[in-house]
Chain A
């Protein structure tokens, strides 16, 4: 194929197909280059100026996030953020979305999502220690959705199991809005045995650029642009934009990179993974950050296919590739080191000091542009915002559930896919490889110990887009606080978050308002509990035939457990233990799972979240755990008290006998800031004394799996065996 000429690109407006607007093209040709960009150059601009790479639509909003605390060593702008956890150790983490690829090619889309986020962690020199994921799909009704779910889950497991990292937790939710636009978010956490790290920079004239890892093919070309567009019936088959993963190569690459940085730090000046927009994004960012220029010779790039053009090589998103900046005197050592791991490693270019980005292909200079024009000169948009009309129309609506049969509603709620056990999925993930997993999937947070210390890391992925849909600001706050309660209930101190911001088209003022307000909510909650946002990504354009998903921010929170003896799980431990509900319950049914069950839709506004009260309750629980007063602790979330009680009883086949002031309906209320706790009887006085907040003593844990409950309005006995069976088997049953 002959490439279109620069003039053809302009005259036929070919740049539009790649996502550049007329105005952006004009800016590039008239102001930046003062000439017409050729085919390769236009391709580079189109990916680097995509939302996925440049955050041009969301930057203004993202600046509202707090990213400082005493622990922050690196924040947004690096491959992943880093937090100090004492003893000269640091925790490194990031989450990333792979929504669009997973919609088109679910197994590979999900697998390479996991692969990509793992590379972001080891490119910081950190040893990855665990992965998690947050998934959203349409209802489990038709074969197509079930296929999608099975393939995504298989892709995540296939990659994580093979590379040998435990998947220690996650979440899966089902709502109509995700039917054609599933969300696949993955998070990786790593450990750095040093508070020093390698920046992703390419500095110093004549230093060398080394390419390491898998060969470059034609897969994933324009993946970043593709991720910055929406799906419709007619354009949902861009399979060439999906990458193919190879976890075996990544395992070698991971071990090699961790070892080279740990043992031969002096050889390497900078390291970065080739993620979205592959070679161009990684090298341009490395050079731009260092204030350098770069010359690349594409003929040196290891290639899997023949006759690839410069454009194809630069934009390929082939997986399992890294870029290193190496001092010339060490280059032979570096190449030999990777050869020992049987990995391709070649010098493909060098650093210059003229701030130009030059690419040679077949001995021709095919690109010569200012490096900063790819990264720094991207226009930043100030999008129009409008509060969604539905919020104005429905702000006074209050859903008032009617429950005529508490036992029946209870069982029905336990079977709802959003509440039912997800073991059917997570048992296909290796959750224990590396032999450090203390709390496996199924409790509030996953916990991984740090071998040789008393410390452990708690981690959780949380989102509740139903709340965010009804009230983005409060919903954003709740997302953070629910994650924090999961960390706190596990015995940890929340220390920071990463996020995936999954939204609709930012050019739609209502969608943009949702993004802006929910980020403000996330920011205010993070400030309250001192959890800076140290990394993350934005996935906009999640729409199908112009209908957007619910605004769906996902928070990945990490907590530090300073003493592993404080690790707490949600399961009741012993017969006769006392059960408490900590926090006040109100009629919070808007956005609840009960509203979906009874009305089949979401309606109404959310009550403001009292951040002071929320923080107080979290602090009290942390204090109680550190004073060894608590035997089990569970955050109350979807389905409220009734679901929390049942889930705490299931693990060890216990029952309970309780009496509460709550009404029967309030057993399902989703008021925030609450915990369900069990304690040994001899700790009662100490526990009640320290609990300077609203709480209610409910009753006791019993040996027989029977749930005896007296509410303000009802009295029932539920057969715990039936409840457990309903909860455990619902998903497997739906997946048949």
Chain B
């Protein structure tokens, strides 16, 4: 399964994601420039964390206007795998590929910490390797990671099992403790925590590995 890691100016977790794929799950992976206009040949698209365009205007707002974006939308609409982490999540909500928005943390400060997450839906392309309600440790590092959506959207998310992960302790004030959500088709996932930083025991946790393994296993099922 071949992955594309999109590199926007100011992305800074691009290499972390690249290594997670290359070394963690040992799959082919390439960095794709934001000016590129094609994702031909890729099976999955990963949008990394960082501060694309310095978070000017609003996190993810300017990146959502880059040339590659049309291709990402096409990719998502074809039902292929799209994962946005941290700033990548913010970009996906700016694009409207995911519902809701990410706003300033409740306490107004940036938080970097390893937090406990609950796997809410383990029957998805991103979570099948986890147990239902499994608690995993994954780092967060964000200033604008408080998930917000209105009441109606929340009901839809719940009814359609679109909530992938919840914080065990609501660190940033997110609606319903939401740490990661999917689109209706569940081929697009956005999450604030960084699974790519939880790939090796020596870095504190390898609980993120199963997320990437889930994606591969899903692709194998699709291909068969």
B84-122 Cβ-contact flags toward A at 8 Å (1 or 0): 000000000000000000000000011111000000000
Please state if A433 and B12 are interface contacts (CB–CB under 8 Å): yes
Q: How far is A360 from B72 in the complex, measured between Cα atoms in Å? A: 50
Please state if A248 and B196 are interface contacts (CB–CB under 8 Å): no
Please state if A427 and B19 are interface contacts (CB–CB under 8 Å): no
Q: How far is A430 from B143 in the complex, measured between Cα atoms in Å? A: 10
**Chain B residues within an 8 Å CB radius of A429:** 110, 112
In the complex, identify which listed stretch (B46-54, B75-83, B216-224) lies at the interface while the others stay far away.
B46-54
Q: Is the CB of A451 closer than 8 A to any CB of chain B?
A: yes
Task: Given A163-B12, A432-B203, A437-B203, decide whether A248 and B56 contact each other with a Cβ distance below 8 A.
Answer: yes
Please state if A435 and B51 are interface contacts (CB–CB under 8 Å): no
> Which residues 178-205 of B sit at the A interface, judged by CB distance below 8 A?
194, 196-197, 199, 202-204
Q: Is the CB of A252 closer than 8 A to any CB of chain B?
A: yes
Q: Is the CB of A348 closer than 8 A to any CB of chain B?
A: no
Residue of A nearest to B141 (CB): A430
Contact-residue bracket for chain A:
20 to 34
Interface residues of B, count at CB 8 A: 30
Please state if A162 and B55 are interface contacts (CB–CB under 8 Å): yes
Please state if B10 and A435 are interface contacts (CB–CB under 8 Å): no
Please state if B202 and A248 are interface contacts (CB–CB under 8 Å): no
A519-534 Cβ-contact flags toward B at 8 Å (1 or 0): 0000000000000000
Smallest distance from the beta carbon of B122 to chain A beta carbons, Å? 25
Please state if A433 and B141 are interface contacts (CB–CB under 8 Å): yes
Smallest distance from the beta carbon of A371 to chain B beta carbons, Å? 37
Please state if B196 and A428 are interface contacts (CB–CB under 8 Å): no
Task: Given A431-B112, A432-B139, A437-B203, decide whether A248 and B9 contact each other with a Cβ distance below 8 A.
Answer: yes
Smallest distance from the beta carbon of B18 to chain A beta carbons, Å? 10
Q: Is the CB of B16 closer than 8 A to any CB of chain A?
A: yes
Please state if A434 and B16 are interface contacts (CB–CB under 8 Å): yes
Q: How far is A440 from B205 in the complex, measured between Cα atoms in Å? A: 13
**Chain B residues within an 8 Å CB radius of A341:** 9
**Chain A residues within an 8 Å CB radius of B55:** 162, 248
Smallest distance from the beta carbon of A733 to chain B beta carbons, Å? 15
Please state if B202 and A438 are interface contacts (CB–CB under 8 Å): yes
Please state if B19 and A451 are interface contacts (CB–CB under 8 Å): yes
Q: Please tell me which one of the listed residues B9, B50, B203 contacts residue A435 in the complex, with CB atoms under 8 A apart.
A: B203
Q: Please tell me which one of the listed residues A164, A342, A451 contacts residue B12 in the complex, with CB atoms under 8 A apart.
A: A164
Q: Is the CB of A289 closer than 8 A to any CB of chain B?
A: no
Please state if B10 and A161 are interface contacts (CB–CB under 8 Å): no
Please state if B202 and A435 are interface contacts (CB–CB under 8 Å): no
Q: How far is A164 from B7 in the complex, measured between Cα atoms in Å? A: 14
Smallest distance from the beta carbon of B98 to chain A beta carbons, Å? 23
Task: Given A432-B112, A432-B203, decide whether A161 and B141 contact each other with a Cβ distance below 8 A.
Answer: yes
Q: Is the CB of A449 closer than 8 A to any CB of chain B?
A: yes
Residue of A nearest to B199 (CB): A435
**Chain A residues within an 8 Å CB radius of B49:** 433
Please state if A428 and B197 are interface contacts (CB–CB under 8 Å): no
Q: Is the CB of B15 closer than 8 A to any CB of chain A?
A: yes
Please state if B54 and A248 are interface contacts (CB–CB under 8 Å): yes
Q: How far is A441 from B111 in the complex, measured between Cα atoms in Å? A: 13
**Chain A residues within an 8 Å CB radius of B141:** 161, 430, 432-433
B7-51 Cβ-contact flags toward A at 8 Å (1 or 0): 001101101100110000000000000000000000000000111
A residues near B (Cβ < 8 Å) are 157, 161-164, 246-249, 251-252, 341-342, 427-438, 440, 449, 451, 564
Q: 17 extra interchain contacts, Cβ-Cβ under 8 A, other than A428-B112, A430-B141, A435-B196?
A: A161-B51, A162-B10, A162-B51, A164-B50, A247-B51, A247-B54, A248-B51, A248-B54, A249-B54, A251-B12, A252-B10, A427-B111, A429-B112, A432-B197, A435-B13, A437-B203, A564-B202
A/B interface sample: 14 pairs, CB < 8 A: A161-B51, A161-B141, A162-B10, A248-B10, A251-B12, A252-B9, A427-B111, A428-B111, A432-B141, A432-B204, A433-B12, A433-B16, A435-B15, A435-B19
